[in-house]
Amino acid sequence: MQVDYRQPDSSPQLAQDLREVAESSTQHDSFSAFSEQALLALTNPQQELKILQALETSSQQTLGLALLLGEGDSWVLEAAVLPSARNQGIGRTLLTQAMQLVDPNQLRVWIHAGANLQAPGLQAARHLAQQLGLTPVRELHQLALPLSDQTRQQLQDQAQQRPLPAGLSLRSYQEGDGPAWVATNAAAFADHPEQGRLTLADFDQRASSDWFRSEGLILAESPADGLAGFVWTKVPRRQADQPSGEIYVVGVDPSQQGRGLGKTLTLAGLAHLVQAKTEEGQPLEQIILYVDGSNAPALALYRSLGFRPLATDTQYLPASSQV
């Protein structure tokens, strides 16, 4: 097979090719090779982006894609190859050439994972990272909470019994809340390399996604000070086995931290999800969430609520950037 590598501009066709590569990889590997941010990047005009595409020469079929997403002073690299085109050196060439497009001191590489840590696709990706001199430096844990009738009732009871800090009330998202959410999110995640950089355009893009439900974005506010925090839940569409909901993000304004609001919001989101259903009317069977491996307080909270490890995404740095 002869393969051409090129750097195309974003286009609707390229966005479709990315979805096809991502969906094929997910079906084959049981986990997504791309983050949500990467999947949205090609349709976000404000996202700084570099693309490397692997094309079969004769058919011009897209065999793989590597995306470099600009995040402040850094570039984040994610890549995938169609399962039918693997074991031919395409992944190695994609990564090698993509890594040469930016300063190695600004590069971070993500390898995403599923529950099966022995999956061939994951093992191959980790082996390639080692061969390319990449060193793991950060972990993002995916946790899961199976939902039984007993668990549903316990979570609802805990949410009802958990008081809000004085002066605050909860309500669902309303049109026009976007700017306040962006400001609170930026303050809450000022030190977070991805979440804290979300713009109003990023928010609007997610709020216009087919999975967005206004009742699933719960806001805590005070009449005097405005938005104090939020919990955003997500129920993806077109789920097959074991339909899941997600605690998408929980954020608390720094001025409100230390009052127990984070746990209150988490319980409010969980109580919402235990009653939520898929678009086909199925009740959810589990709740998932992501938490940074360095966030010990959040890990302790989620474990106390019954969440258990499901998978771990790993971020790598080139060896030359650590000298």
What is the CATH number for 40?
3.40.630.30
Whether residues 116 and 197 share a domain: the answer is no
Q: How many structural domains compose the chain?
A: 2
Q: Are residues 86 and 163 in the same domain?
A: no
**pLDDT score at 168:** 96
Alpha helices in the chain (DSSP H): 12-29, 36-41, 90-99, 120-131, 149-161, 178-188, 200-207, 261-275, 296-304
List for the chain the helix, strand, coil content (%; round to 5). 35, 30, 35
Task: Examine the domain organization and report whether 190 and 106 are in the same domain.
Answer: no
pLDDT at residue number 276: 95
* Spatial distance between the Cα atoms of 177 and 122, rounded to a whole number of angstroms: 40
Domain check: are 159 and 120 in the same one? no
Q: Give residue-wise pLDDT tens across range 115-151.
A: 777 788 888 889 999 999 999 999 999 999 999 999 9
170 and 90, same structural domain?
A: no
130 and 179 both lie in a single domain = no
Average pLDDT score over residue span 77-101: 95
The answer on 177 and 87 residing in a single domain is no
The reported pLDDT for the residue numbered 226 is 92
Task: State pLDDT tens for residues 141-154.
Answer: 999 999 999 999 99
Neighbours of 266 (CB within 10 A): 21
The pLDDT of residue 319 is: 79
Inside any domain, residue 296:
no
- Residues 85, 195, single domain; the answer is no
* 185, 190, 191, 196 alpha-carbon torsion, rounded to 10°: 40
Q: Whole-structure pTM over 0.85, yes or no?
A: yes
Residue 194: which of 301, 267, 290 has the closest Cα? 290
pLDDT score at 212: 96
If asked whether residues 130 and 203 sit together in one domain, one would say: no
Q: Can you tell me the mean pLDDT for 196-208?
A: 91
Is 293 within the bounds of a domain? no
| Whether 24 and 135 share a structural domain | yes
Q: Kindly indicate the confidence band of residue 320, based on its pLDDT and cuts at 50, 70 and 90.
A: low
* Token output for 26: 């997910």
- Domain with 125, as residue range(s), is 3-141+314-322
Considering the domain architecture, whether residues 110 and 88 belong to the same structural domain is answered as: yes
